[in-house]
Structure 1
Amino acid sequence: MLSPLIFVGIAGLIGYFVSQNVQPAKVAVVIVNTQAPAKGLLSKAILKTSDSNIKFEAGTTQTSAEKALTNEKIDGILTVTTKPKISAKYVERSNADNNVDTSTLTATLSQLKLQQTAASLKLAPEALTALLAPAKVTKRTVAIENGKQVAKNDTTAAVNKAFAGVLTVFILMITMVYGSMLAQEIATEKGSRIMEILLSSVSATTQFFGKLAGMFLLLLTQIVAYVIAGAIGWVWLAKLDFVKSLLKQIDFSVLASQTTLIAVLFFVVGVMTYAVLAALTGSLVSNQEQVNTAVMPISMLGLAGYMLSFMAQTGDSPLLRITSFVPFINATVMPVQLALGHAGFAMAWASLGVSVIFLIGFTWVVVGVYRSNVLVYSDANFMKRLRTSFSIWRAEHK
Structure 2
Amino acid sequence: MKYHYEAVPVLFNILLFFLMLYPFPNVYRYGCEFRKRYTDILDYAVYGVLLILFCTFGYADNDFYHYEGLFKRICSTGLNVHLEPVYYWLIRNVTSNYLVWRFIVWSGTVILSLWTIKRLKLDVRIGLLIFVLFYINIISVMRGNLGIAILFFGFSFIIRPSHNRLLSFLFGCLLIFCSFFFHKSMLFSIAALSVTPFYLNRKTVKISLVIFPFLTVVTTLLLDYIIMNGLIGFDIADMNIGSSMTGYASDTMRQSNIFGKLNQMITYMPVYASLALMTKKIVFEEIDVPRYIKALFIYWYAITYVASLFFFQETSVWLFIRFIMMSYFPLCIVVGYYYSNFKMTREKRILMLLAILPICYKLFYAFYKRLVWEGYVFF
Same-fold call, TM cutoff 0.5:
no
Structure with higher strand content: 1
* TM-score, L = length of structure 1: 0.23
* TM-score, L = length of structure 2: 0.24
Structure with higher helix content: 2
- Compare CA radii of gyration and give the structure with the larger one: 1
